[in-house]
Amino acid sequence: MINLDLQGRRALVTGGSGGLGRAIAETLAAAGAQVAVHYRKGLDEAEAVVAAIQKLGGRAQAFQADVSDPAAVEKLLQEIESAFGGLDILVNNAGMDGPRASVSEDDPQVWEKVLAVDLMGPYYCARAAIPRMEKAKRGVIINITSVHEFIPWEGYSAYTSAKAGLSMFTKTLAQETADKGIRVVAIAPGAIQTPINQSVWADPQSLKDLDEKISMGRLGRPEEIGNVVAFLASDLASYITGTTLAVDGGMLIYPEFRHGG
């Protein structure tokens, strides 16, 4: 019998108050982990996630921090350590894509903000988590990238650059920590149906255009990402580190070429 069991594990999900983060937090809790639901804004949303987890018998607590601020991240990890006694799983999910703009017309401060959240945030969180994981000689860091670590996206150069950078950060960090009992992996979601992209999937024409870019012909569900996170965080994935797993319904196999070049 194969058993995906995270009992006794303590997890932090950044950006855990809604959408993809909520699904990840709820799935980890369902697998037995005690979950720190991080939020930057929106205490009510974070507490709703905690309440949903607790209603099903899980354990969770909300924590606030700006992941682009290293001092705030260190304080966050201290608070989690005080509440949970340690940290075994870090899911770097918090992110933003920023407004669409070409490089020649965008705002450098906005570009830097996207990198601060999407790339520096995971760096700060990993940097603070690793010493704590080293003490236990066990830990898993999961970075949520995107298919846009592989696929260019016109108008979103900051986002694509940050996600590509996070991919290489994953590999390098895995190399540094492999002999310390710490695994580092990335998940590259494709088009996932969440409230943040409702304007796309709620419009029939936009949805049709997007579905045609996906080999399986549909958007992914948040819980499909949560399930993969739980698997990678578990001992079932004990020999996986330093790689990106695309969970994209076949977007990266370019369905446009199904009938020839």
Please list the active-site residues: 159
Q: How big is the CA angle at 61 (ends 195 and 173), to the nearest 5 degrees?
A: 75
- Token match 């799935």: residue? 27
In this structure, are residues 76 and 63 in contact, taking their beta carbons and an 8 Å threshold? yes
How far is residue 258's CA from residue 260's CA, in Å, rounded to a whole number? 6
Name beta bridge partners: 139. 182
Name beta bridge partners: 184. 141
In this structure, are residues 188 and 197 in contact, taking their beta carbons and an 8 Å threshold? no
- Phi, psi for residue 242 in degrees, rounded to 5: 70, 30
